Chain A
Amino acid sequence: MNRRLYLPVAGLAIGGLVLAGCSGGDSDGGSSGDSSGGGGGAMAEGCEAYADYGTFDGESVEIYGTQVDEEADRLVESWQEFSDCTGITVDWIGNQEFETQMNVRVEAGDPPDLAIFPQPGLAARFISGGSVVPAPESVEANVDEFWTESWKEYGTVDGTFYAAPLMASVKGWIWYSPTEFAEKGYEVPETWDDMMALTAQMADDGADNAQYRPWCIGFESGEATGWPGTDWIEDIVLRQQGAETYDAWVAGDVKFSDPEIVEAFDTFGEIALNADYVNGGIGGPETIASTAFGDAGLPILDGNCSLHHQASFYEGFWPEGTTVAEDGDIWAFITPKVNADDPDAVTGGGEFITAFNDNPATVAFQTFLSSDTWANIRVGLGGVISANQGLDPANASSALGTAAIELLQSEDTLFKFDGADLMPAEVGSASFWTGITDWVQGTKTTEEVTAFIDGTWPSS
């Protein structure tokens, strides 16, 4: 190679490096939420509902959350009209590494304008960190109007209201076959004792089918094996001991080995450890741990069991062609209360939204998201429900969703968050799961398992 050629080549190399450095920065964010706003000015036609939010010129709001794919598309669609009418461009960023990424962005002093937290505990951690601004008056007014007191409390830290609730989900459904109930003259039980009596009757009636057991239970879920069992315990603790003990238990003030929680294990054991009551079509209690949670309820369709405890998402697990309706093949009732005059109590989950600044555009969008208008639009698009009181239950995409909304909206319903989600990870996503798995497997007694879980509760 000619020596004279070297210099230009070297120059090219340096130039190329500079070029490469530049081109890294302008990569497209890929957010699907860009909407070409009206650009302010007069309100367009059909925008009467949005008149109160005002119009903005070229403002944009960045909102961060865990939703991706279809869920994210529906979210973006739900505020399209708002965006068109007010001129606020909404930039949606969905990321399943939400928790880590939020930490990074807050640490770097570059938080999004708004963030949707998948559960209140995580939101509370960021609020304690000091980067979240209190909810503006307009948002608080909406929450006072459209949500029950307990929902507002989940978004309140040290007496200041920060996080408005958005979507919700309901756990603790017991799936059954209405056809079978009608055929055999069973009735949906009102209390826990009724349910146990029904279970005993079912066991008697099904005695001639060697594979039949009243209940179907399955815990297997890969590394999360055991979580369906924790849902059982949570439902029982809430119903037997009430909200206060439940909260104290979740906070670690009531220990697993305390009599209140041991009683819940024993109550669950009357079903789960009884070889006459579980596990339809598969075997005895020792098969619970190895039965995949997704398949666990299906023996109801073969007539090998009659009852299955699982959250509302299980609706999607029934094979195609199964009618999920009150008079169809499959339907569900909420885990019954202990005494007939106890309040309705349910466990579940919910999302909360917090703001990291109080720019007028952020406030306007935040206010919109806490309104009944948005709840109705979003639920109408399908797949989710909300506890917003202004929501028309008929907007839900399924009959079960409608039932869940009615339950959530009822003033008498005591709603509590999934306890395992709120406990420290060492317990809520580890020892509680493995503990209850060992317990149904028969390798640990109630005494041993509760002591074991207590031992893993972090000391700090």
Chain B
Amino acid sequence: MTSLAGVAQGALRMEGFWTEQSPKLGFAAIAIVVFLAVMGLVMFLADNAPRKGRDVVQLLLFVLPAMLLLAAGMIWPALSTMWQSVTSKAGEFVGLDNFVTIFTDPTGQVVLRNTLLWVVFVPTISTVVGLAYALFIDRAKGERILKSLVFMPMAISFVGASIIWGFMYTYRSEGFPQIGLLNQILVWIGLSPYQFVETPPWNTFFLLVVMAWIQTGFAMVVLSAAIKGVPAEIVEAAELDGASAWQRFKNVTLPWIRGSLVVVVTTITISTLKVFDIVRTMTGGQYNTSVVANEMYTRAFRLGQPEIGAALAVVLFILVLPIVIYNIRVLRQHKETH
């Protein structure tokens, strides 16, 4: 009886679901029809363009929508952010005051110093470790398994990784039962437990290790593929000439994979500059660990200082820009030489 009633109730609920959803489905259908109709209109106009200059008209018609969306969704907000960064909260032009605040304010200086530490160490650690690992396991037995082990952290989100590492770093005072792995190890080998996350300045390193842990997999996979591309004949020739393993690596492998190396380092550098999730999850920027992206969010959305947030966004943009340009240039050279 009850189960029957349950089924009836379920059916009713389903019916409620459909009455609620059908307007949305109708709306979706209209949207699709409208989309097709607009596309038809665009093609109709493109096809009927005057013969003279038809190419230009057609090009414009197809590029324009994307351009408009880019302008509305990216260029306009970027420009308004830049404008906001040189105005006061009331909207008056104040020149570089907000930037002066960032660079003179003690919190701001710590933020910039931390960002610099992240940018120096994360790409270095992940590339060096990733490259070494890729070299050592190259053509080794069980290479695939060894590779996937290091690659696996890539599948974990920054927030998830931060929580995992947060547990690893958990601290209990001396004499209390430890629940964090690293501190338990310290206690086992006879040392005192240590507050990894809360003790500046080294806590920044314990935070950036999390990102390096994730990015190493990326570096390793890309570099491993590049190493496999080194022609066997050249390596063999070097070997016959009596080059040592180090010489072979330095003079043959390294020049050959230079392009991939640059891509790896710049990609990791860019994502490191933008790092936000790890800091926000592990410390919320506390204990002198804040970085530019985290500070930007905090100022703009929590402290009601959107103008400082905008200025930080511009600083971040200026920091990322040269790396992006360098990246593109190297890729272009790479294309030309190969």
Contact = CB atoms under 8 A, between A and B. Distances in A.
Interface of A: 6, 9-10, 12-17, 19-20, 23, 28, 210-211, 222-226, 279, 281-284, 286-287, 289-290, 425-426, 429-430, 434, 437-438, 441, 443
Interface in B269-289: 280, 284-287
A429 B287 contact: no
A222 B284 contact: yes
Contact of B172 (A14, A223, A287): A287
Main secondary structure of the interface of B (DSSP, over half): loop
Interface string B38-65: 1011001001100000000000000000
B206 to A, nearest CB: 13
A286 B198 contact: yes
Given A13-B41, A283-B172, A23 B30 contact: yes
A15 B41 CA distance: 12
Nearest to B195: A286
A283 B176 contact: yes
B37 interface: yes
B44 A443 contact: no
Interface in B162-196: 170-177, 195
B298 interface: yes
Contacts of B34: 13, 16-17, 19-20
B33 interface: yes
B44 A429 contact: no
B40 A283 contact: no
A222 B166 CA distance: 12
Contacts of A222: 280, 284
Contacts of A211: 175-177
B338 interface: no
Contacts of A12: 33, 37, 40
Given A10-B44, A23-B27, A429 B303 contact: yes
Given A13-B34, A284-B173, A287-B173, 4 more contacts: A211-B176, A289-B198, A438-B286, A441-B198
B48 A6 contact: yes
9 contacts: A6-B40, A10-B40, A12-B33, A14-B41, A16-B34, A17-B34, A23-B30, A211-B176, A286-B171
Given A222-B284, A290-B195, A6 B44 contact: yes
A210 B176 CA distance: 8
Interface in B234-287: 280, 284-287
Interface string B96-122: 000000000000000000000000000
A12 B44 CA distance: 12
Nearest to B48: A6
B327 interface: no
Identify the 6 closest CB pairs spanning chains A and B, nearest first. Answer: A283-B173, A13-B37, A16-B34, A223-B284, A13-B41, A9-B40
A14 B195 CA distance: 65
Contacts of A438: 286-287
A443 B304 CA distance: 27
Assign chain B's interface to a size class: 35 or more
Nearest to A211: B176
Contacts of A17: 34, 37-38
Contacts of B332: none
A223 B280 contact: yes
Contact of A430 (B177, B280, B303): B303
A440 to B, nearest CB: 10
B141 interface: no
Given A19-B34, A426-B305, A286 B173 contact: yes
A430 B304 CA distance: 11
B286 A10 contact: no
A287 B175 contact: no
A223 B298 contact: yes
B284 A225 contact: yes
Contact of B302 (A13, A28, A226, A430): A430
B286 A434 contact: yes
Contacts of A434: 286
A213 B287 CA distance: 25
Contacts of B197: 290
Nearest to A6: B44
Interface in B19-45: 23, 27, 30-31, 33-34, 37-38, 40-41, 44
A19 B198 CA distance: 58
Given A16-B30, A210-B175, A287-B173, A425 B41 contact: no
B171 A19 contact: no
A281 B175 CA distance: 10
A159 to B, nearest CB: 29
A211 B175 CA distance: 8
A437 B289 CA distance: 14
B176 A281 contact: yes
B300 to A, nearest CB: 12
B102 to A, nearest CB: 15
B173 A425 contact: no
A294 B327 CA distance: 47
Contacts of A282: 172-173, 176
Nearest to A285: B173
A425 B198 contact: no
B159 to A, nearest CB: 11
Contacts of B198: 286, 289-290, 441
A337 B41 CA distance: 77
Contacts of B170: 290
Nearest to B284: A223
Contacts of B91: none
Contacts of B38: 13, 16-17
B200 interface: yes
A437 B198 CA distance: 10
A111 B47 CA distance: 50
A287 B305 contact: no
Nearest to B44: A6
A23 B29 CA distance: 12
